[in-house]
Amino acid sequence: MDILLYNPLSRNGKNPKFIEKITKHLRKSGNAVVSYSLLSIDNVDSFLSGCAESDRIIIVGGDGTINRLANAIQHLEIKQDIFMYQAGTGNDFVRSLKTKSKIVPIKQHLQALPSVEFHEQSRLFLNGAGAGLDGFIGHLVNTSKYKKNKLNYFRHAFEGFAKFKPISATLEVDGKTFQEPKLWFASMMNSPYFGGGMKIAPSAKRHEKSLQLVMVKDVPKWVLILIFPTIYLGWHVMFKRWVKIMNADSIKITFDKPTYLQIDGDVEYPIDQFITTKAK
């Protein structure tokens, strides 16, 4: 049996016809299909215990939905295979897997994920966690009256450039401490992409031992506006004067004033410190 789980708060989850279309598509393979709202599942462990080991769990959604799933099952032993039906607006997670399949096996990629700690909370992330301008842009996108898509991310990025001011930060990277007085943003990446296809960490690999810390610093605003479009192709790494990339297992960043933190596109505010750690 195929068990279809969808997030009714996501753009596609709000469309009953879209869920019905996926159900019909899956039934063509001869399998029985049932669908559930993720919000209706109070106890994930109990729900999965009631499923047969041979059932396929298929998640409909994008990065935010998969992030919530990964955090919900992190301490559970999952016997069923887990798949993702590509339906989100960002899809940076599945983009990093480099597959054209509509139904993508993801169970192995939900294990040994890096974590971010803030405000005495700890959350796993799939793609990246970052603070500063990228968090602020995420806030603008998430609170926008426009639909989430690449065009509107681009639109709100320029709004972010206009409104955001660089901040001072103290960074501890694998035990070494240094200061960045004019930090635009710092992102800890577990894979290359964020923001719906921006190749912010071109050489990051999901199953490497280290995260990649990407910092943009000291850059004049007008230069940042010129650099920004090159991120989609990963060409921003050429601007070594302002873009710094390093591998790290553990990163702690303390800001001199509260700022925005984005975790796979979900935004927390205000934060003035966070720690990211790569799982071993």
pTM for the predicted model, two decimal places: 0.90
Q: Give the count of domains, the chain.
A: 2
**Beta strand ranges found along 46-166 (DSSP E):** 56-61, 81-86, 103-105, 115-118, 121-124, 128-132
Of 110, 140, 174, the one marking the end of a domain is 110
Query: How does pLDDT run across 192-243, given as a tens digit for each residue?
Result: 999 888 999 999 998 888 999 999 999 999 999 999 999 999 999 999 999 9
| Whether residues 149 and 104 fall in one domain | no
- Domain ranges, residue 129: 115-277
Q: Please report where in the chains the tokens 């919000």 appear, as a residue.
A: 39
pLDDT at 153: 81
Q: Cα angle vertex 97, ends 249, 144, to 5°?
A: 85
pLDDT at 269: 97
The SS3 assignment for 254 reads: strand
Task: Specify the CATH number for the domain of residue 14.
Answer: 3.40.50.10330
| Whether residues 193 and 121 fall in one domain | yes
| Whether residues 54 and 160 fall in one domain | no
Residue 20 pairs in a beta bridge with none
pLDDT at 38: 87
| Whether residues 90 and 71 fall in one domain | yes
Residues (pLDDT < 70) of the chain are 10-15, 87-90, 149
